[in-house]
Structure 1
Amino acid sequence: MEVEILSTYAKGDRFEEQVFDFLTREIDEGRFYFFRSDCCKIFRKKSYYSRDREDFIIFDIAVEVFLPGFDKPSLLVLIECKNYSGTVPVGDIEEFGSKISQVAGFNAKGIFASASAFQSGTLNIARNKGFSLLRYFDQSEFRWELPRALLTGARSARARKRAEIEHALTQPAFRPTVYSAYAVTPSGYTDGWEGIWKGLCLEDSFSEDELRLIRQPSPITTPRVIFISKDRIESLAEHVLKSISYIRGAVDLAKLVAKESDANGLTVSFLDDSSSVLGSITFSPLEIKIFAADSKSHLARFTLAHELGHHFESPRVS
């Protein structure tokens, strides 16, 4: 039992360090919302005074935003980090909301960050109490995936987006596809850090004149995802087709798969239909999964071509 408790603490510490390192990079590289790096400081295990306790509360991570020339921050972003083997219970969320409300003398915003899923009842509590719930994933867990929902018109795009984010927040078995962060904020649902900062209304802590003092002088243009131009995609496609001596007609996908299997170890599996996913690709190991009972169907062929596109656009492919 003691070993299990120590293991739980170790998991939590690693997750906290992961979130801290990410936010430190965001600040250092000028990507913490639109705030200048020299106006932000980040801490681990910093304490703030509670009027109710007449004592100090320690938070896992704290980001402080300062106006130039001031020693006291105008804004606090206080973050609690958890990595449970099960879902995060309602009680933990209620306790965190209470802790945020007790911080005296600051404009404090809160984020409860978890590597594991949240119980469904926690989402409304956080949103109504004015803080965010965040499920944050290690980028090594990423996979490219073609959701079946992309090909259906039963829901509006906005409703589908919300449903997908809520699914990511509450389902323990969920694994990320494109985004590392899924959150509910007081303003709604989001799948990116920029949306979290906007959803917390961080700029409301400052007047327009103050915002001009702490805003980045110019937009940060460092891309998070490598951009591939249309011409580059056309060039890649031409190179791929030449590699199998393509001339005309339907492309022989089996020939492409066989070539990539020999060159890069690619494997392709056809599995039973899935209600939510058409296909997925992982890069370590390099594997494509097609969820189609009939491997000869037009939908199976479309999905395989889609996932092969991710493979050939990957920088791993020379």
Structure 2
Amino acid sequence: MSTTEKGNKLEDELYNYLLDQVESDQPVFGIYYANCCTVRKKPNYYCKDREADVNFDVVVEVRQQVDADPHSYLVFECKNHQRPIEDKYVRNFSDQVGSVFGQAAKPLMVISSRLQAGAESVAKNRGIGIVKFDENGIDMVAQRAIGSWVENRFIQIQIFADNRKPKTLKFAACIDGRYFSSFGHMLRSIELGSAHERVENADQKTNSVAFLSDSKIQDAAQNALSLVNYSCGEVDVEKLCRVLNLNLSFSERALQDADGNIILGSANFARRSIEIHQHGNRHRERFTVAHEIGHFILRHDKYLRSESIVEQDLYEEVETDKAFNYERLEFQANLFASMLLLPEAQFRDALGALRSKFETYGRAFGYIFVDDQPCNYLPYNGMLAELSEQFGASKQAIEIKLKRAGLLTDHRSARQRNQSLGHVLGHLGTSIAAQ
């Protein structure tokens, strides 16, 4: 794909995103009605300095009344480059916006890579916003109150280099030292004034994701099981989607996020839809469906408009104080998925029977014991295999449940655990989240 084609692709994706944002909210972001906001792609505006029209990639025209002229403009310039953006592009964009709109416009440079150090300085000194956009990223609910549940640190490392690689946001912006996780959040700040936002940003305050106890998530999973009259064996997650009026679909699309992570599936909360990308791993697909169902049942639509699940999300096993808010959402959805696919009473009954069959108990070493000796890890793997077959869940998901419940004493060496994982990965190719 040529540079021009890549640039056009980014423009198209951004345009469709902004159009969807405008059309989906009434009023738009709690400020204006949809017919007061116009999203335009490749519009021309007359430039007095050049005595000719100037073309911009995407522009949002904002009006305070339906029939009034636009009182402000958000002007987006898309640079879909693999290499860092040079300062000359930033200067040229700033000059064009200033010569056409004066102070009535906010220039925003949309990037897929990063800005060079000099370009970052120019953008900062000229008040140019920096936007990172990823069509396959998670989409935040437009904030209608001051504040955001997404931490500034999380948004910052979407745009600037950092050792940590968090899941990608669909929209992340930095303007005048302030960070925004959604277009609506940014528009509110620009249109309603930034005084309160500046204070909040300086204090690094966010509205945290609500804590949910294990017992509350367990109750939610049990209620879901009752909806499909579950009694034993595999939980019918497709039937549960039908009962919950969730539109579940499967595809063989191979999608990746901006960091190259494989996207396993996605959910759109407004449309009540779940899409699963099939890659030949039934257990992983079932867990992904259950994970997405968890987002709906646990009412994560309070925070997200849409989300995509990548392999690393399936490893959110522990809720810590250091976790970002979105990581807490993934932890809650994972715990729900585990409780849904491995129902407590039925799982305990099956586990007890197989524990006796394979003799995986260790007398003084806990309910189930495993170490590096073949006489212990071979029966243990056999028990996991039968549980996996019975409940349609991966061995890894079962092992996580055992550890979380304090039922497993694992004395295997790191090498032995890695060898087991290596066998799994070799069998599944690119998957790191399955049996």
Q: Does 1:47 align with 2:44?
A: yes
- Which residues of 2 match residues 30-41 of structure 1 at below 5 A? 30=25, 32-34=28-30, 35-41=32-38
SS of the residue 2:2 aligns to: helix
Distance (whole Å) between structure 2 residues aligned to residue 133 and residue 235 of structure 1? 37
Q: Which of 298, 322, 342 is residue 229 of structure 1 equivalent to?
A: 298
The alignment's C-alpha RMSD in Å is 4.6
Match of 1:203 in 2: 192
Q: Is the 8 A contact 1:120 1:170 kept in 2?
A: no
Distance (whole Å) between structure 2 residues aligned to residue 239 and residue 195 of structure 1? 37
Structure scoring higher RCO (CA < 8 A, sep ≥ 6) equals 1
Q: Is the 8 A contact 2:76 2:109 kept in 1?
A: yes
SS of the residue 1:103 aligns to: helix
1:46 partner letter? P
Match of 1:93 in 2: 90
2:41 partner letter? R
Q: Is the 8 A contact 2:74 2:106 kept in 1?
A: yes
Q: Does 1:109 align with 2:106?
A: yes
CA drift at 1:62: 1.0
Q: Which has the larger radius of gyration?
A: 2
Q: Is the 8 A contact 1:165 1:183 kept in 2?
A: yes
Q: Is the 8 A contact 2:351 2:387 kept in 1?
A: no
Q: Relative to 1, partners in 2 of residues 1:174 and 1:7: Cα closer, same or farther, differing over 3 Å?
A: farther
Q: Does 1:189 align with 2:179?
A: yes
Match of 2:124 in 1: 127
SS of the residue 1:73 aligns to: coil
Q: Which of 17, 20, 26 is residue 22 of structure 1 equivalent to?
A: 17
Match of 1:287 in 2: none
Q: Relative to 1, partners in 2 of residues 1:235 and 1:92: Cα closer, same or farther, differing over 3 Å?
A: closer
Q: Does 1:77 align with 2:66?
A: no
CA drift at 1:251: 11
Q: Which of 170, 175, 181 is residue 180 of structure 1 equivalent to?
A: 170
Q: Is the 8 A contact 2:76 2:108 kept in 1?
A: yes
Q: Relative to 1, partners in 2 of residues 1:124 and 1:137: Cα closer, same or farther, differing over 3 Å?
A: same
Q: Is the 8 A contact 1:46 1:59 kept in 2?
A: yes
Q: Which of 7, 26, 30 is residue 12 of structure 1 equivalent to?
A: 7
CA drift at 1:250: 7.4
SS of the residue 2:109 aligns to: strand
Match of 1:259 in 2: 388
Q: Does 1:137 align with 2:134?
A: yes
Which string of whole-angstrom CA distances, capped at 9 and with x for unpartnered residues, describes residues 47-105 of structure 1?
22223323322111111112325342112111111211212222212222222211247
CA drift at 1:203: 2.8
Distance (whole Å) between structure 1 residues aligned to residue 369 and residue 186 of structure 2? 43
Match of 1:118 in 2: 115
Distance (whole Å) between structure 2 residues aligned to residue 195 and residue 123 of structure 1? 22
Distance (whole Å) between structure 1 residues aligned to residue 271 and residue 52 of structure 2? 44
Distance (whole Å) between structure 1 residues aligned to residue 165 and residue 181 of structure 2? 13
Match of 1:306 in 2: none
Distance (whole Å) between structure 2 residues aligned to residue 257 and residue 227 of structure 1? 30
Q: Which runs of 5+ in 2 are unaligned?
A: 139-149, 195-268, 273-291, 300-331, 353-365, 371-379, 398-413, 422-432
Distance (whole Å) between structure 2 residues aligned to residue 257 and residue 113 of structure 1? 51
CA drift at 1:167: 3.3
- Greater fraction helix: 2
Q: Is the 8 A contact 1:44 1:61 kept in 2?
A: yes
Q: Relative to 1, partners in 2 of residues 1:194 and 1:42: Cα closer, same or farther, differing over 3 Å?
A: closer
Q: Is the 8 A contact 1:62 1:76 kept in 2?
A: yes
Distance (whole Å) between structure 2 residues aligned to residue 57 and residue 37 of structure 1? 26
Q: Is the 8 A contact 1:87 1:172 kept in 2?
A: no
Q: Relative to 1, partners in 2 of residues 1:76 and 1:266: Cα closer, same or farther, differing over 3 Å?
A: farther
CA drift at 1:123: 3.4
> What TM-score results when the alignment is normalised by the length of structure 2?
0.44
Q: Relative to 1, partners in 2 of residues 1:75 and 1:228: Cα closer, same or farther, differing over 3 Å?
A: same
Match of 2:202 in 1: none
Q: Is the 8 A contact 1:51 1:104 kept in 2?
A: no
- Which residues of 2 match residues 291-302 of structure 1 at below 5 A? none
- Greater fraction strand: 1
Distance (whole Å) between structure 2 residues aligned to residue 50 and residue 14 of structure 1? 26
> What TM-score results when the alignment is normalised by the length of structure 1?
0.58
